[in-house]
Structure 1
Amino acid sequence: MQDAHITASDGCKLAFQTSLPSPISAPQASCCVLLLHGFSGSSAYFTRNVSFISSKYWVVAPDMRGHGASGRTRGGYHVARLAADLRQIVMHLQSISRPDLKIVPVGCSIGAAVLWTYLELFGCDDFAGFVFVDQAPLQDRSPFENWDSTRAHKGCYDEATMKSAQESWIHDSVAAHRDLAESSLGYLYAPSAGDAVSEEQKEEDMRFFTGISALCDQEWLAKLMCDHTRYDHREAVEMIDRPTLVLYGKRSGCFTYEGVAETAVRVNRKCQGQKLASVISFDSGHWLFYEEPERFNREIVQFVDACLASV
């Protein structure tokens, strides 16, 4: 992977990693898999995925503003701003390859929320299909449609829990980073006798993920989380009119199956019986792409193959 960047409309640097250098010839770039990381993450999250996926498809993995190698801004801690940034990246990828480039985005955690906001603002036309990884379309509990603990986020789901999370990220970020990793790695959140993870690997994983979180401005992150948890994407999900794959981690400390699967339920219901969306459960946690990379990589490539065959 090579480092690259563009400049957002407000002057912020938007960094990304690309498996192909620019400019890109048309035969190389008929399809791009766009890997979108989660809250406080970076493109480095996909260290176990890019090699396999890029053996067949062009892979691009952005760092959202405020994360990784991208720029830091005083404002911009809104999912809508991240969606606008993604729009600029998509337009750039089209401009350096071909306007009819087929793009399949893989939105992990808040990356899924950014995609749903993108759909609401810009529509579906830029994408050939969608993958959403372990994210419910609404984090908060809500009286609308009885969105309760069976579907909302397990730990940050109302004003009180959100404020507590903000206090932690601002005033005890080291603990907050560890808490995120412990709720996102299935072998830590819900240990199983079959887990083959050594103590050395556990320590290495903890250093890896907490180190990435530490790169961010913690107050900026806390403000982003406040914005993120309030967004209700359920109606935006119903705009999807193309193949959709939803991936769920059975040992996720973040979401329930019912919350994550709601995306597939709404896509299929809106399509009046046509099964455009399917759900696949993994035996790991929220970061299932890291814990089960071989399976994740195969599922992504097979899904992209199917998306292109249906075009």
Structure 2
Amino acid sequence: MVARIFIDGEAGTTGLQIRERLAGRRDLEVLSIAPDKRKDEDERRRLLNEADIAILCLPDEAAKESVRLIENDTTRVIDASSAHRVAAGWTYGFAEMAADQSDAIAASRYVANPGCWPQGLIASIRPLIEARLLPGDYPLSYHGISGYSGGGRQMIEDYEAQGTTASQFMPYSLAFQHKHLPEMQVYSGLNRAPLFEPVVGNFAQGMTNSVPLHLDMVAQMPSGKALHAALADHYAAIADSFVRVAPYQAGLGKDAALDPQTHNGTNTLTLHVFANDDAAQAVIVSIYDNLGKGAAGAAVQNLNIMLGVGAGESLEA
């Protein structure tokens, strides 16, 4: 049976990336809206209700409107906006987050695709809290740099127009009210929101994020090897996982693999653990493509899970 897929917002950055990944699939029929009807509510309603699965690549309020336009009880939804990530009735679409998360996604009608920034934090911290190596009330900081494509079409156009004069390194959200904070806290298992400092870099896509840890703040101080083992065990137990844990290398001063563009074009997320047990310090670094595992790749992975086909279909590892 061919599944009908409608990408509402297919002309946007994430929508185009999803459409590209789905090209050539014989098990899918991608329903497309005429360019001059993208804002036509009746046409969007028709396509949303014809689809077996609708993928919403829209601003938050427009995504909520699309859900309201669905009048049947059969169309399933993957929402790539941040509108429903902590909403009741929606399943969080980070398949590697927990052992049963893929099953929850497969059974759900409504799936909220994760944000790009939260995945690195959740992937790094949730397994450690579950393993009781970190307490839920740990005062966590989270820092990262992402390509400018994370800001959507307007930011892409702005950066590309500036050329060599564009800022190489621009911190933002310095009022500490980033819209991704709720999902970071809820799905990482933290009791308090992390202190989050994101940065935009002058490159198109890819991201590197880091979580620094003062291990002497933990009652039973874990070693770097213990942190690494907990992460490795968690992701080894997840079927069809795209999250990898790099080998533990004590005393490593730098690593070329930490380039934020390392996994561009793929759905891979790699975690690196660096630690100095004598100093009681560690940092967990996550590398992935903000448009891949951070957006379009995750949406296609969730689509595959919901359709019951191989999770890696149409995805590069």
TM-score > 0.5 by shorter chain: no
TM-score range (shorter-chain normalised) is 0.3 to 0.5
Q: Report the TM-score when normalising by structure 1.
A: 0.35
The structure that is helix-richer by fraction is 1
Q: Report the TM-score when normalising by structure 2.
A: 0.35
Q: Which one has more relative contact order, counting CA pairs under 8 Å at least 6 apart?
A: 1
